[in-house]
Structure 1
Amino acid sequence: MTQTLTKPISFDEFVAWYPENAVCKYELHNGRIVEMPLGTGAHSNITGFITGELHLEIRRLKLPYSIPGDCLLKPVEDESGYQPDIIVLDRDQLSNEPGWQKDSIITLGSSVRLVVKVVSTNWQNEYLRKAGDYELMGIPEYWIVDHLGLGARRFIGSSKSPTISVYYMVNGEYEVKQFRDNERVESLAFPELQLTAAQIFKAE
């Protein structure tokens, strides 16, 4: 990641600054604009594969969900804004989001059914920063797809193998389950989803 500005700014200033036809994606981390690197081919393939599988499940079950192309998540307590690789929104809740129609901004955890992040080199942000912020927002489910096993041992174990960590909201706090190899990924948002960790990792 490359920081593009050094002066801290507010979330509203970040939204106003964001280039309309930006080639790169940007996030705001504690008031500082950060340029997000383009994903690798493997990253893009995994993201596209998961998105396709979730779309199929939404259509099959006729769920009131949507997966937008772009979305900016604003955490509760600090001047940050994140762009997930995949976000599943509850269409019935979007009328409560004042910034959705104009700027694709989500501020309420109740609008979100699932967030997915495919880990790149910046794994610390996914496990440390964003998991905490999404928990505070009340987002019910967050997947970290660590296809290279980059996360620290305290997050994915000593084997450092490809791991999908699924954070579930239980009584206001996240609990985490991990899935590897041929284990079926268990999802609150998509309880009938028949998708294994191995299938996701093979998509790279």
Structure 2
Amino acid sequence: MVQLLPKLITFDEFIEWLPETRRYELHEGTIIEMQPTGKHEDIAGFLTQELTLEYTRMNLPYRIPPKALVKLKDKETGYNPDLLLIDRRKLVNEPFWDKKSTLINGESIALVIEIVSNNWRDDYGYKLIDYEAMGIREYWIVDYLGIGGVRFIGQPKQPTISLYQLIDGEYQVKQFRGQESINQSLIFPDLNLTAEQIFKAQR
């Protein structure tokens, strides 16, 4: 990630400035350019494909918008998750959706996925706390390099998918590695993918 512009800006200023060609986030008034690797993008594309097939099969009212932002209500912060699964039924309650492709209500978001390829502290730290506070039902961290802190993925470090589920207002985590199947999602209980398939971005 690369920090841009020395001065702090508001979310509205960020939206007006936001170019179409690259991915950016706003962290407490600071613009951050996201620079995902090729592998990172391959995994994101694979998960988008697989989850689209799954929610279509289940006839669920979901979509995966590629550029939508998640805005924190009380902060000048807006995230552009690697994968954002929205519930289209809830969009009527989103005041910024039609003009700014921005969500502020956790109930509109069924699932967020962040793929770790450089700054793991944001995904396991700020974003974990913020997504939980918003009430987003499920949050996956796909750490395909196994670079997260030991307190998050254990020792020895290894590629890990951390699946956080909102239970009584707090995230509880389940972790998957290797040939373990990601079959405990509350959103996709019948998902037939192993951690290794996700890391390799292929079945």
Measured against the shorter chain, the TM-score band is: over 0.9
Query: TM-score by structure 2 length?
Result: 0.96
The one-character-per-residue Cα deviations of 1:35-54 (angstroms, maximum 9, x if unpaired) are 111x2221111111111110
Query: d(CA) in 2 for partners of 1:108 and 1:83?
Result: 15
Aligned to 1:160: 157
**How far is the alpha carbon of 1:32 from its aligned partner?**
0.6
Query: d(CA) in 1 for partners of 2:125 and 2:96?
Result: 27
User: Could you tell me whether the CA contact under 8 Å between 1:138 and 1:172 is conserved in 2?
Assistant: yes
**How far is the alpha carbon of 1:15 from its aligned partner?**
1.1
Query: d(CA) in 2 for partners of 1:176 and 1:71?
Result: 25
User: Could you tell me whether the CA contact under 8 Å between 1:76 and 1:136 is conserved in 2?
Assistant: no
Query: SS state of the match for residue 73, structure 1?
Result: strand
**How far is the alpha carbon of 1:76 from its aligned partner?**
3.1
Aligned to 1:99: 96
Query: d(CA) in 2 for partners of 1:13 and 1:69?
Result: 21
**How far is the alpha carbon of 1:9 from its aligned partner?**
1.3
Aligned to 1:47: 44
Query: d(CA) in 2 for partners of 1:202 and 1:15?
Result: 34
Query: SS state of the match for residue 76, structure 1?
Result: coil
Query: d(CA) in 2 for partners of 1:93 and 1:124?
Result: 30
Q: Aligned ranges for residues 94-173 of structure 1 at < 5 Å?
A: 94-173=91-170
Query: d(CA) in 2 for partners of 1:61 and 1:192?
Result: 10
Query: d(CA) in 2 for partners of 1:102 and 1:128?
Result: 30
Query: SS state of the match for residue 154, structure 1?
Result: helix
**How far is the alpha carbon of 1:95 from its aligned partner?**
0.8
**How far is the alpha carbon of 1:64 from its aligned partner?**
0.8
- Alignment partner of 2:66 out of 54, 66, 69: 69
User: Could you tell me whether the CA contact under 8 Å between 1:9 and 1:32 is conserved in 2?
Assistant: yes
For the pair 1:178 / 2:170, whether they are aligned, the reply is no
Query: SS state of the match for residue 131, structure 1?
Result: helix
The one-character-per-residue Cα deviations of 1:99-126 (angstroms, maximum 9, x if unpaired) are 1111110000000000011111111100
**How far is the alpha carbon of 1:7 from its aligned partner?**
1.0
Q: Which runs of 5+ in 2 are unaligned?
A: none
Aligned to 1:24: 22
User: Could you tell me whether the CA contact under 8 Å between 1:75 and 1:136 is conserved in 2?
Assistant: no
Query: SS state of the match for residue 44, structure 2?
Result: helix
Query: d(CA) in 1 for partners of 2:139 and 2:72?
Result: 14
One-letter identity of the residue aligned with 1:91:
R
Length, aligned pairs only: 201
Query: SS state of the match for residue 182, structure 1?
Result: coil
Query: SS state of the match for residue 133, structure 1?
Result: helix
Q: Which runs of 5+ in 1 are unaligned?
A: none
Query: d(CA) in 2 for partners of 1:74 and 1:17?
Result: 16
Query: TM-score by structure 1 length?
Result: 0.95
User: Could you tell me whether the CA contact under 8 Å between 1:73 and 1:107 is conserved in 2?
Assistant: yes
Query: SS state of the match for residue 102, structure 1?
Result: helix
